Structure 1
Amino acid sequence: MKWRTKVEIGQGADPIDYRDEVLVLGSCFADHLGDKLSYYQFRHLANPFGVLFHPIPLGHLIERAVEGRRFREDDLFEREGLWRCLEVHSRAAGSSKDATLKGMNETLNTFQKSLAQASHIVLTLGTAFAFRNLDTDLLVANCHKLPQQQFHRELTPVAELVRSLGHTIAVIRKNNPECQILLTVSPVRHVRDGLVENQRSKAHLLAAVHQVAEGVNIHYFPAYELLMDELRDYRFYKRDLIHPTEQAVDFVWEKFIEAWVDPGVIPVMKRVAGVRKQLAHRNARAAGSSRVAPGEPLKQKVEALSAEFPFIHFEL
């Protein structure tokens, strides 16, 4: 008996292997993907400026990085003892203005290099609702809990999303013409907008990404459909009934592997996971006592991986 509908996913034309560099940007679902890439020690960068839900502020930040436009003092403002910027998430905020500005520009340099070198760039879009700052007339990445009267909330039309995404991809292509671009819509619902409004928002994003994904080396990965259609049950959501459980994230990751990870590197991933599990077991045994030295077999496994892939590193 058939118990669930299956989302069919095509095989990626240029799957990821350990020689590649992956850049993951966008909503909190991008962080989930970044965590998986980190666990298996793929070369990657995920959300260097924190979570960005709307594609237009995300595109503005990408354009700033590609053009090398450094942040300036007048891009920052102070609130609740922290220096912040409307173009980025509060993750980048700091208590010192100079240190915050320096840190943001160092991160911008790293971001610029990743945009130029990445073999695969994943853009995960969270919402089509945006907040326009009334002083600058620009859509912001984060309101940082500023007074509501400083912003106007609006739903971005599909045509504007298509134009913005097309421009963002053109900016990326000018700097990195050969990279594969993966577009996806986050399955995390924005219930603060209201359930009906959330569906309108996701519909705008889905319509836009499918128009844009018709371009060369631009692909769609159905993370949204995997949770909404294939995992169609609240047992795959956390207690808030909004965010996916670890089991659900693992399921989507497995589908991502099937579509977008080179089968030839699966044995390497299993070796990395094996070392992770052994280290976790060792650390659990060492809890509350002095650290246990790694056994010779474990040390040999780590050294063998590092010899083949110098960027793979474990704390022994």
Structure 2
Amino acid sequence: MQFRTQIPISRSNQPIDYNSKVVSLGSCFAVNIGEKFQYYKFQTTTNPFGIIFNPVSIEKIVRRIVEKRFFIEDDIFFFNDRWHCFEVHSELSHPNKEVFLSSLNELIDSMYQQLIDSTHIIITYGTSWVYREKEQYEVVANCHKLPQKQFDKDLLSIEAIEKAIHNTIDLIQKISSNCNMIFTVSPVRHIKDGFVENQLSKAHLITALHSSIPQLPTSNYFPSYEIMMDDLRDYRFYAPDMLHPNQTAIDYIWKLFAEAYITSESFSTMSVVENIQRSLHHRPFNENGEEHQKFLSQLQDKIKNVETKFPHIRFHT
């Protein structure tokens, strides 16, 4: 008897290995995936402009990068003792205007090269609900806790999301024609929008992606949302807020992702890297004891072997 509904996932024709360069953009689930790549020491960049939830804002920041449209003073504003930008997350905000602009534009420069070099870009959409700043009526990536009366809330149509998806891919392919795109919908439920409204939002994202991806040969869809809803449909897989997947769920979704999108040849290296990571966090009973010194010597040999084979890998010892 089957007590679960496991979702079949096809293996990628262009899988990721330790020579791949991966960029992960989008919602907080993009961070979860990015952290896994970082833990296993793949070459990866995650959300350099912070968490961005909606497809239009992701398209806007990708356009800035690809077209090298640097930020100017008109693109930022001062509020609550810090300078902010509607196109990026609050974590980048800064009390000094010049430092803020400089750091944003340095990110554009670095991300331009990283998109050129990228072999795989993972984009995680979180919601179809957007906020438009009333004065310019532009979709914002972050409201930065400004008064709600300054914004209109809007649900992106399926057509608008499709346009954002196609534009994002077209922009990236201008500078990285061989890059593989992996799209997914975040399994995090945005209940602040309402229960029915969250389902509507996710439905718009899923519909737009499934109507767009078949037309794009270098793009794939990974069903992280479906895995959470249909395979892991139990509250024991949720964090205490009952909205975010807990670590067990994240680990499980990552396992399915790795099986579909990472080369089987990379698994042995991943296993060695994981062993090293765990060993680096090992706390001995006797730091000066003979057994621990032997353990440290063997650990350094493992680290040297991995770093020699893959020069981009560095462990913090």
1:285 CA displacement: 7.5
2:230 is the counterpart of 1:229: yes
Q: How does 1:36-185 map to 2 (within 5 A)?
A: 36-185=36-185
Instruction: Please name the residue that 2:290 is paired with.
Output: none
2:2 is the counterpart of 1:5: no
1:282 CA displacement: 3.9
Q: Distance in 2 between matches of 1:89 and 1:74?
A: 17
Q: Distance in 2 between matches of 1:15 and 1:87?
A: 31
Q: Which amino acid aligns with 1:254?
A: K
Instruction: Please name the residue that 2:280 is paired with.
Output: 279
Instruction: Please name the residue that 1:266 is paired with.
Output: 267
Q: How does 1:204-215 map to 2 (within 5 A)?
A: 204-214=204-214, 215=216
Instruction: Please name the residue that 1:289 is paired with.
Output: none
Q: Which amino acid aligns with 1:260?
A: Y
1:108 CA displacement: 1.5
3-state SS in 2 of match to 1:281: coil
3-state SS in 1 of match to 2:115: helix
**TM-score, length-scaled by structure 1:** 0.96
3-state SS in 2 of match to 1:98: helix
- Note the alpha carbon deviations across 1:70-119, whole angstroms, 9 max, x for none: 11122111111111100001011112111111111111212111111110
3-state SS in 2 of match to 1:295: helix
Q: Distance in 1 between matches of 2:14 and 2:280?
A: 32
- Note the alpha carbon deviations across 1:176-211, whole angstroms, 9 max, x for none: 111100110000000000000000000000000111
Q: 1:79–1:284: structure 2 CA closer, same or farther, 3 Å change rule?
A: farther
**Alpha-carbon contact 1:212-1:218 (below 8 Å) kept:** no
1:212 CA displacement: 1.4
Q: Distance in 2 between matches of 1:284 and 1:92?
A: 41
**Alpha-carbon contact 1:49-1:89 (below 8 Å) kept:** yes
1:137 CA displacement: 1.6
Q: Distance in 1 between matches of 2:271 and 2:31?
A: 22
Say which is worse superposed, 30-39 or 160-169, in terms of deviation.
Answer: 160-169
Q: Distance in 1 between matches of 2:126 and 2:111?
A: 20
Q: Distance in 1 between matches of 2:222 and 2:78?
A: 39
Q: 1:306–1:283: structure 2 CA closer, same or farther, 3 Å change rule?
A: farther
Q: Distance in 2 between matches of 1:293 and 1:117?
A: 40
1:122 CA displacement: 0.6
Q: 1:283–1:109: structure 2 CA closer, same or farther, 3 Å change rule?
A: farther
3-state SS in 2 of match to 1:263: coil
Q: 1:61–1:284: structure 2 CA closer, same or farther, 3 Å change rule?
A: farther
Q: Distance in 2 between matches of 1:91 and 1:283?
A: 37
Q: Distance in 2 between matches of 1:193 and 1:222?
A: 22
Say which is worse superposed, 72-81 or 237-246, in terms of deviation.
Answer: 72-81
Q: 1:229–1:52: structure 2 CA closer, same or farther, 3 Å change rule?
A: same
Instruction: Please name the residue that 1:297 is paired with.
Output: 298
1:164 CA displacement: 1.4
1:217 CA displacement: 0.9
**Alpha-carbon contact 1:23-1:115 (below 8 Å) kept:** yes
Q: Distance in 2 between matches of 1:225 and 1:208?
A: 15
Instruction: Please name the residue that 1:255 is paired with.
Output: 256
3-state SS in 2 of match to 1:53: coil
Instruction: Please name the residue that 1:27 is paired with.
Output: 27
Q: Which runs of 5+ in 1 are unaligned?
A: 287-291
3-state SS in 1 of match to 2:245: coil
1:294 CA displacement: 7.4
Please tell me the root mean square deviation across aligned C-alpha atoms, in Å. Answer: 1.6
3-state SS in 1 of match to 2:282: helix
Instruction: Please name the residue that 1:246 is paired with.
Output: 247
- Note the alpha carbon deviations across 1:41-65, whole angstroms, 9 max, x for none: 0001000011000000110000000
Q: Distance in 1 between matches of 2:285 and 2:128?
A: 44
1:135 CA displacement: 1.1
Q: 1:13–1:284: structure 2 CA closer, same or farther, 3 Å change rule?
A: farther
- Note the alpha carbon deviations across 1:145-164, whole angstroms, 9 max, x for none: 11112111000110111011
